[in-house]
Amino acid sequence: MAFDPLTAILNIANTVLDRVIPDKTQAAAAKASLLETTVKGEWDNAIAQLQVDQAEAANQSVFVAGWRPWIGWVCGMAFAYTYVVQPLFSFFAALFGHPVNLPPVNLDGMMPVLLGMLGLGAMRSWDKSNGKANGS
């Protein structure tokens, strides 16, 4: 099980509240208030991140808005190398009497990124098909 600092802090806070506030009703109300504040903080962080993402995507500079396409191209090239270039090159090299073992690319960390981007790409295709692409 991974360490979740937020859960650990809430568990400690709940234990402290149980000891500091002897009345069960007041302790429950304090715990609910703590949980509500925590959830609101997480929600606010998510909204702030979405606003940053929107600002990055709207920027005309390739150094700001271009990192997502760059990651897509890198993942796509690694995928193409692994499943197209490497097997075909090895096949034709062996066919002509020069067997070569090209080094593999470790896609373990890259595939979740690529698949996530492809999922986002499907939403982009939906936008384009509904006339919502490029601010139209």
38-43, long-range: CB within 8 Å, 24+ apart, which pairs? Answer: 38/6, 38/10, 42/6
State whether 54 and 7 are in the same domain.
yes
Amino acid at site 124: R
pTM of the model: 0.44
Give the pLDDT score at 95: 94
> What's the structural domain count of the chain?
2
C-alpha to C-alpha distance for 5 and 91, rounded to whole angstroms:
50
- Dihedral over alpha carbons 85, 89, 92, 95 (to 10 degrees): -130
Which of 59, 81, 106 is where one domain is finished? Answer: 59
State whether 133 and 70 are in the same domain.
yes
**Interior angle at CA 20, CA 18 and CA 24, nearest 5:** 45
Give the pLDDT score at 51: 82
Q: What is the pLDDT along the chain (136 residues), one digit of tens a residue?
A: 556 676 777 778 778 877 788 788 887 888 888 888 888 888 888 888 788 777 777 777 766 667 777 887 888 899 899 999 999 999 999 999 999 888 888 888 888 787 777 765 555 566 666 666 555 4
